[in-house]
Amino acid sequence: MKHSTLDILIPLPKDVILAEGHIALRSLDTLFAVEAGRGAAEEIHRGFEWLRLPVRDVASQADAKICLELQADMGKEEWRLQVTMEKITIASGSSVGLRYAANALSQMAFYASQCGTENAYLDCGMVKDAPRFDYRGFMLDSVRHFQKPQTICKFLRLLAVNRINKFHWHLTDNQGWRLPSTLAAKVSGHGTAEDGCYSREDLKEIVKQASELGIQIIPEIDVPGHSKLLITAYPEYSCEHKPTYEFCIGNPKSLEFIKGLYDELMELFPESEEIHLGGDEAVTDGWEKCPLCQKAMKDKGLKTMRELESDFMSELCRHIASKGRRPRIWGSCNGQVYSPDIMLQAWLDIREPLRIAPHGNKVVYSVHTSLYLDYPANAFEPQENWMFALPEEGVYMTDPYVIWENKVKDTIIGPETCLWTEQVPEWRIFQKVMSRIAAYSEVAWTNPAQKDYHDFCIRKATLATAGWNDYIASN
């Protein structure tokens, strides 16, 4: 299939309307941007300079060959790009949408310049675009292996290019604690694979960059399980004061200690509207034998330790909500029902949203068989013995609604792909992600009726040949 410069894009846009004529790429040498479009203008400068096509800023829209403007009647992430034989006009309802359009223009320029810029041109016409899902997430595990702050900033740029707008950051687990902390000072910066901690200054810079890129950070402290490192250092919060993976959920002091940890987290991430509390894969064995847990269960009139766990997590969620943030936990794998104001992240199986929907909780879709990028893209990658291959096509064919759109459409707010790093040291995270992030981008952004894997492969290979992958990997 022969593509125009307007429909070569990844992710595939909503509407492409071709017109007669074209404009020489080299003629696009002046740019005007409203103040909100300065970040988008920088994206255009960066892409065009890579192609050795300098673009000069001008103060007047009338003097510009590329114009970036805001439109009050357009959505925050909606954008429009019009190419005529005289100029290019980009419009959106916000700086975020302008940045998306700027990246789309850069893709067009790379495609047009495959054989050089001397005779390169852009086809005339219009692209109108808006996302399928408002929520488009990526979770990165910085615990099992630590990534330096500059790596995180580079990773955020990769997410932005692929129009991913939520960065779920897994910062604590059995294997490490990556946050500066007064309450958890004994473990702050420690890890089993390697030590490493983000300083307050690091986090301020990362938060600032994410905000500029239109990405919201969702930080996570994982409790009551996944806490071995922390509990080993502070055994007074475990059942019978023994090192284990789980907090003692019958001890009121555990609850207050953890609330304090989340207070520290919210101070570190003042712009994060949502806080992730973990909440998965806790084992009940220690609780079953613990006098404090047994007493708490009976005092609350509960019948099982899973009910006590749900009560414990619900109290933490209420604490988060009292601070003006929205709580989220990992799915409903303990079999309990949570109040509708708690968001759940479905990861265990495709039917999980169906089970949650009647209870009114909003759901982020991250089912591991389709969206865990630590699963190998091919058989030769390092992997855990319980993993199976997840090739690009498997990611691309994912639809969060599966076959139950009428039952879960009001429940699922969007997808989130995840990279756990047990087998992925820092220097391999881009290798793990680059082969499949474009496919995920199209899952999260593009309407499924427009998707076609064969066409996607053509667009992806064509842009790679044009040097697009080299460019985004370098930034």
Per-residue model confidence as pLDDT tens digits over 36-67: 999 999 999 999 999 999 999 999 999 999 99
| pLDDT confidence of residue 335 | 78
Which of the residue ranges 19-33, 87-101, 321-335 would you say has the lowest mean pLDDT? 321-335
For range 329-336, the mean pLDDT: 81
Q: Is 80 exceeded by the pLDDT of residue 184? A: yes
Q: What is d(CA 462, CA 471) in angstroms, rounded to the nearest whole number? A: 14
Q: Which domains does the chain have, with CATH numbers?
A: 15-130+467-474 (3.30.379.10), 137-445 (3.20.20.80)
More confident of the two residues 331 and 99? 99
Q: Is 90 exceeded by the pLDDT of residue 334? A: no
Q: What is the pLDDT of residues 192-233, one digit of tens each?
A: 999 999 999 999 999 999 999 999 999 999 999 999 999 999
| pLDDT confidence of residue 333 | 63
| pLDDT confidence of residue 58 | 97
Residues 120, 174 contacting (CB under 8 angstroms): no
Q: What is the pLDDT of residues 422-460, one digit of tens each?
A: 999 999 999 999 999 999 999 999 999 999 999 999 999
For range 234-256, the mean pLDDT: 94
Average pLDDT, the chain: 96
Q: Is 90 exceeded by the pLDDT of residue 384? A: no
